[in-house]
Chain A
Amino acid sequence: MTPAEADRFATYAAAYVHIPFCSAVCPYCDFAVVAGQDHLAERYVSAVCTEIASADPWRPLDAVYFGGGTPSHIDTHLLGRVLDSLSATHGLSAAAEVSLEANPEDFSIERATRLRELGFNRVSFGAQSFDDAVLIGLGRRHVPEDIVASVGAARAAGFDDVSIDLIYGSTAETDESWSRSLDRAEALQPDHVSCYALTVEPGTPFGRSVQAGAEAPDPDIQADRYEAADHAFSDIGLQRYEVSNWARPGHECRYNLTVWAQGEYEAYGNGAHGYRNGRRFRNHRRLDAYIDRIEDGGSPRAGQDRIEGWDAELDRLFVGLRRSVGVSAGPGTDTLLSSEEGRMLTAAGVIAAQDGRLLVSKPLLTDAVHRSVLALTAPNVGDDGDA
């Protein structure tokens, strides 16, 4: 993907829909999810449709992403109702990417076919690993064969964009088991892979056990695993286009590219975050609070931040620098490069300025760059009247 192509997503209109339902909550997960609340799915989807219907109508959407939770966990027709609402309020462009997250244990050829009929054209499986011990350690409820079957079902139903998520660096994993997972992932020939270091978040069961003295993931080991993954994916023609995302050219996730290009996106559902009309906004995270507010005719918004001026420039760098294409030069990149920290990052080979862009050359150190970026202060405009 060329930098120009990547930056063009800034003009996309995208939408995120949150489906919080899961069969069980994974011990590392800190998203807005619920288990054992499937009876609320219908009410919840109605609330989401109400939220969509009351949104400020936009132009036809170029990308829609159903995330979770586990969107594949609820009835397909409920997903269809949401898509109908989106069409009714904003419209869907003819070439829109319509993506959903799915779990291998929820998937079948029937479901895949039904999703295709509804208009979904991209599916992302929470595969996480192809090693039984690692899957058990992560609290997952599928076996490696489920992943193979699910990907096969998606292909058979005509999905041209099939992605798998992998998690590396858990304590049950070894260099060998990771290598085997990568081999099996390669064999599936996915169009796209999202590959994440296991992150121990406070407040999760993993967070609590680490706090109580359990072994935490070793960042050096995770760095090794990341590098192994990058090699493996390159071997099958997947190119890294963001810190944790690899794709066959042309199969990058357009919804995410929109976010990273600082494009605007609607967001619906509990805990959903969006960015529209220059504001980053968020909905109430609790499922019941979200439903109650909508059913009471109120707003599900929990807060919003206006992103403007210098903050918007830093925000552009923040979201954009995770991409391999980096960001185009601007006041933010100039300020960073001329700062002491920018010079150190350059000297350490972490960032590089080239062809009118700023790139993070060592993606595993992106947060170090981000800390420096977010601390930048606006250059003094002076008295030349530009202020």
Chain B
Amino acid sequence: MTDQSRIRNFSIIAHIDHGKSTLADRLLEKTGAVTEREMREQLLDSMDLERERGITIKAQTVRLDYEANDGQTYVLNLIDTPGHVDFSYEVSRSLAACEGALLLADAAQGVQAQTLANSYLAIEAGLEVIPAINKIDLPAADPDRVASELTGIIGGSPNDVLRMSAKTGEGVDDLLETLVKEVPPPQGDLDAPLRALVFDSYFDAYRGVVCYVRVVDGRLESGDSLRFMATKEVHDANEIGFLRPKAQPVSTMGPGDVGYLITGVKEIDRIKVGDTVTSSRILATDPLPGYDEPKPMVFSGLFPTDGDDFEDLREALEKLRLNDSSLVWEPETSKALGFGFRCGFLGLLHMEIVRERLEREYDLDLVATAPSVAYRVTLTDATVREIRSPQDLPESTERSSIAEPYVKAMILTPTEYVGPIMELATSRRAIVGNMTYLSPERVELDFEIPLAEIVFDFFDILKSRTKGYASLDYEPASYREADLVKVDILLNGQPVDAFSAIVHRDKAQDYGKKMTGRLRTLIPRQLFDVPIQAAIGGKIISRETVKATRKDVTAKCYGGDISRKKKLLQRQKEGKKRMKMVGSVEVPQEAFVAALKVDDEL
């Protein structure tokens, strides 16, 4: 058991690409946790996709031994946090396992919205926040400006902000000393009943679910019978240990210790992040605060291009879920797309990552429908129903109102882009709130905005209107009633469920016009005229026609051409196989994807 006064538990809060993983690598090196030979670049980001996108999806953690200038050896537990808006609950649980947080900002780019949001989480959680600037070796570095931004957020003097380069190692020794000095030691009660926080978990094919835990009070002993207070399940501590970063089994963990716990549970959703582990013999009276269940916010139908791949898709989803209990789905049938799954995601990035992993790691060819949100529909009999797909919206005669989820959005931007951002936000029905200057050049804009208005492409447009300088973070806010309608798109008179959308009445005409216009260019000419209509209820609000093909014939086909022409036509046929039949209309894959990018001409 470690002496609490020698433990420092901390996280690093940083934006994507601001160097968190590189810094973690340096810390591992400096403390000798990993020899250079073992050192793999950015060791903590182990999933391929994370490496490629430079983001951390699943938090990982590591225990470091550091001999400080005072001659004492300290245990530094670095608790990694997922770096994206979609995973804010996970971030909050990781922070709850710490006493301190390093707020790391890129010396050129400064603080980004999501870093700011996570800093607020850290401050609210009562953590000691240590500001630091990374990448001071960059030619474009402006550490003074960034230092004043940082102190603008958390207070203090810009002169006290640490400056370093994780890449070159400059300033990393100072950081280690500062962590020891500034991060308060844990103050758990060794004699109290065990309370340990599950702040992360993952699935290991051999060991089952591995929990990452932080002991708050009492002792966690290997072999103990444990009770998980939220799920009320009882499991044995088959193995506990530290991550250095390789697993090192131990017999006892005490207050302040951070490590792993293996119980033999095989199903990831039986272990809840944020749950409190106590001893099943001496129960703690109260669980640790803050437990919640992350709720999916964004929904999209995923369909295999080839209907034969349906079972493969199901298996792939199940495999992904082994490590991602926030991924939920239910089977969905689309007249246009066949059999698939309506999947729920924590947010946009989560959705994108899952889709990409399915296609890349499981080699599936997918069509994804337009992302939707969860609407709350009040029926005429006053019952409330939550719907996650436009197809499930009850008829207008059966409902009295629809409420849609709003999010609290925060945008950090250079001041010169305030105008365009305001324009974008109001065009997306945002309710504009505060505007706070972090520095003369940078401003934080707060507003509430319907989630549905940002799920498509808001982020892309924001980036393009601000040359990439603005950053966005959001968190669920409230539900608000709105005048929403379902716009259906009909191909050849048949509604194409995959193209239906719930939109605000004021935008329905626009949506209909854009979709029909776009589909007219995306749907190839067929053997017959294909009318494309947009309709609300039975009322057509927009119409286009793809005229029938008039000429599709080889001019010459004589004795010398037969084998060659046959092969040519067979190749063309192969190309057509990638089309989806919607009724009797052939629709290329790309049409589904492209048609659903409704607003890119904005």
CB within 8 Å of B: which A341-387 residues: 344-345, 347-348, 350, 363-368, 370-372, 374-375
Contact present for A273 and B559 (CB under 8 Å): yes
Q: Which residues of B contact A (CB under 8 A)?
A: 527-528, 548-563, 566, 569-570, 572-573, 576, 584
* Chain B residues whose C-beta falls within 8 Å of the C-beta of A274 in the assembled complex: 559
Hey, which chain A residues are within 8 Å of B560, CB to CB? Answer: 16, 18, 31, 67, 267, 271-273
- Tell me how far the C-beta of B261 lies from the nearest C-beta in chain A, rounded to whole angstroms: 57
Q: When chains A and B are docked, how far (Å) is the Cα of A361 from the Cα of B570?
A: 22
A275, B559: Cα distance in complex, Å: 8
State the 5 A-B residue pairs at the shortest beta-carbon distance, nearest first. A223-B550, A348-B527, A196-B555, A219-B551, A259-B559
Q: Report which of B555, B561, B562, B576 forms a contact with A371, defined as CB distance below 8 A.
A: B576
Q: Which listed residue (A199, A255, A348, A364) contacts B550, Cβ 8 A?
A: A364
CA distance A347 to B550 in the complex (A): 16
Report whether A243 and B551 are in contact in the complex, using a CB–CB cutoff of 8 Å: no
Chain B residues with CB under 8 Å of A318's CB are 562, 566
- Whether B527 and A365, one on each chain, are in contact in the complex, defined by CB atoms closer than 8 angstroms, is yes
Tell me if A251 counts as interface (CB < 8 A to partner B).
no
Could you list some 12 contacts between A and B, CB below 8 A?
A16-B559, A67-B558, A199-B555, A267-B560, A273-B563, A274-B559, A275-B559, A319-B557, A322-B557, A366-B552, A368-B552, A374-B566
Q: When chains A and B are docked, how far (Å) is the Cα of A322 from the Cα of B554?
A: 10
Since A16-B560, A220-B551, A315-B562 are in contact, a sample of 6 more A-B pairs with Cβ atoms closer than 8 Å, ordered by chain A residue number, is A255-B559, A267-B560, A344-B527, A348-B548, A367-B552, A371-B572
> Interface range on chain A: under 10, 10 to 19, 20 to 34, or 35 or more?
35 or more
Q: Does A129 contact B (CB under 8 A)?
A: no
Complex CA–CA separation, A370 to B562 (angstroms):
12
Contact across chains for B563 and A370 when beta carbons are under 8 A apart:
no
- Nearest-Cβ distance from residue A321 to partner chain B, whole angstroms: 10
Contact partners of B570 in chain A: CB under 8 A: 371, 374-375
Which residues from A are CB-within-8-Å of B584?
344, 347
- Whether A197 and B566, one on each chain, are in contact in the complex, defined by CB atoms closer than 8 angstroms, is no
- Looking at the assembled complex, report how far the CB atom of A302 sits from the nearest CB atom of chain B, in whole angstroms: 11
With a CB–CB cut-off of 8 A, which chain A residues contact B573? Answer: 371-372, 374-375
In the complex the two chains form, is A280's CB within 8 Å of B576's CB?
no
Residues of B close to A344: CB separation below 8 A? 527, 584
Q: Known: A344-B584, A348-B527. Is A273-B556 also a contact (CB below 8 A)?
A: no
Q: Mark A307-319, 1 if CB is under 8 A from B, else 0.
A: 0000000010011
Q: Taking CB as reference atom, which chain B residue is nearest A220?
A: B550
**Chain B residues, CB < 8 A from A259:** 558-559, 562
Least CB separation from A343: chain B residue: B584
With both chains docked as a complex, state the minimum distance between the C-beta of A187 and any C-beta of chain B, in angstroms: 24
- A170 contacts across to B, CB distance below 8 A: none
Q: How far is the CB of A47 from chain B (nearest CB, A)?
A: 18
For A145, the chain B residues whose CB sits under 8 A away are none
B569 engages A244 (CB within 8 Å) = no
Q: Which residue of A lies closest to B559 (CB)?
A: A259
Tell yes or no: A176 within 8 A of B by CB: no
CA distance A350 to B548 in the complex (A): 12
Q: Chain B nearest CB: distance from A27 CB in Å?
A: 16
